[in-house]
Structure 1
Amino acid sequence: MIDWVLGSKKQIQDYGTKLFILVIYAFMYSVALNIFWRNGNIYAGGITGISQIITTVLENITGQPIPIAIVYYVLNIPLFLLGWFVVDRKFVLFTVIGVTFASFAIEIMPVIQLTNDPIICAVFGGAISGYSLGLALKNGLSTGGMDIVLLSLRKLTGKSVGRISMIINGIIVLTAGFIFGWPHAFYSLLSIFVGAKATDLVYVKHKKVQVMIITQKPELVIEKLQEKLSRGITVIYHAKGAYQQKDQAILITVITRYEMEILKEIMKVIDPSAFVSVSQDVEILSDFKELEII
Structure 2
Amino acid sequence: MKFEPKEDIKRIIIVCIAAVIMALNIKSFVRTGGLYPGGATGLALLIQRAGDLFFHVTVPYTVVNVALNAVPVYIGFRYIGKKFTLYSCLMIVLTSVLTDMLPGYAITYDTLLISIFGGLINGVVISLCLLMNATTGGTDFIAIFLSDRKGIDSWNIVLGLNVVILGAAGILFGWDKALYSIIFQYTSTQTLHVLYKKYQQETLFVVTNHAEEICDAISRATNHGATIIEGQGAYKEQERKIVYSVVSGAESKRVLRLIREADPKAFINLMKTEQVAGRFYQKPNE
Instruction: Check whether TM > 0.5.
Output: yes
Which residue in 2 is equivalent to 1:67?
60
Instruction: Look up the equivalent residue of 2:277 and give its one-letter code.
Output: K
Tell me if the contact between 1:206 and 1:256 (Cα under 8 Å) persists in the aligned partners.
yes
Which residue in 2 is equivalent to 1:168?
161
Moved more, 20-29 or 154-163: 154-163
Counterparts of 2:6 and 2:178, CA distance in 1: 43
Counterparts of 1:136 and 1:75, CA distance in 2: 19
Which residue in 1 is equivalent to 2:276?
288
Give per-residue Cα distances to partners, 1:87-111, cap 9 Å, x unaligned. 1222111111111221122121123
Give per-residue Cα distances to partners, 1:249-270, cap 9 Å, x unaligned. xxx7755649xxxxxxxxxxxx
Counterparts of 1:284 and 1:199, CA distance in 2: 18
Counterparts of 2:9 and 2:138, CA distance in 1: 23
- Give the structure with higher Rg (CA): 2
Counterparts of 1:183 and 1:35, CA distance in 2: 19
Counterparts of 1:24 and 1:143, CA distance in 2: 12
Tell me if the contact between 2:153 and 2:200 (Cα under 8 Å) persists in the aligned partners.
no
Instruction: Look up the equivalent residue of 2:32 and give its one-letter code.
Output: N
Tell me if the contact between 2:152 and 2:199 (Cα under 8 Å) persists in the aligned partners.
no
Cα pair distance change 1:90/1:256, threshold 3 Å = farther
Matched positions, count? 231
1:1-294 matched pairs, under 5 angstroms: 11-155=4-148, 160-208=153-201, 213=219, 254-255=247-248, 257=250, 283-284=272-273, 288-291=276-279
Instruction: Look up the equivalent residue of 2:102 and give its one-letter code.
Output: M
Moved more, 38-47 or 121-130: 121-130
Pairwise CA distance, 1:153: 3.4
Instruction: Look up the equivalent residue of 2:5 and give its one-letter code.
Output: I
Pairwise CA distance, 1:22: 0.7
Tell me if the contact between 1:212 and 1:253 (Cα under 8 Å) persists in the aligned partners.
no
Counterparts of 2:129 and 2:137, CA distance in 1: 11
Moved more, 201-210 or 111-120: 201-210
Instruction: Look up the equivalent residue of 2:130 and give its one-letter code.
Output: L
Q: Percent identity?
A: 22
The answer for unaligned runs of 5 or more in structure 1 is: 1-6, 215-224, 226-232, 237-251, 259-278
The answer for unaligned runs of 5 or more in structure 2 is: 204-216, 228-244, 252-267, 281-286
Counterparts of 2:27 and 2:171, CA distance in 1: 23
Alignment root-mean-square deviation, CA: 3.2
Pairwise CA distance, 1:65: 2.0
Pairwise CA distance, 1:18: 0.5
SS in 2 for 1:112: coil
Cα pair distance change 1:257/1:147, threshold 3 Å = farther
Pairwise CA distance, 1:289: 3.1
Pairwise CA distance, 1:113: 3.4
Tell me if the contact between 1:32 and 1:126 (Cα under 8 Å) persists in the aligned partners.
no
Counterparts of 1:253 and 1:101, CA distance in 2: 38
Tell me if the contact between 1:209 and 1:257 (Cα under 8 Å) persists in the aligned partners.
no
Give per-residue Cα distances to partners, 1:167-219, cap 9 Å, x unaligned. 212212222222211111211111112223443454345432579547xxxxx
Tell me if the contact between 2:62 and 2:93 (Cα under 8 Å) persists in the aligned partners.
no
Tell me if the contact between 1:207 and 1:281 (Cα under 8 Å) persists in the aligned partners.
no
Pairwise CA distance, 1:154: 4.0
SS in 2 for 1:283: strand
Cα pair distance change 1:54/1:157, threshold 3 Å = farther
Cα pair distance change 1:280/1:37, threshold 3 Å = farther
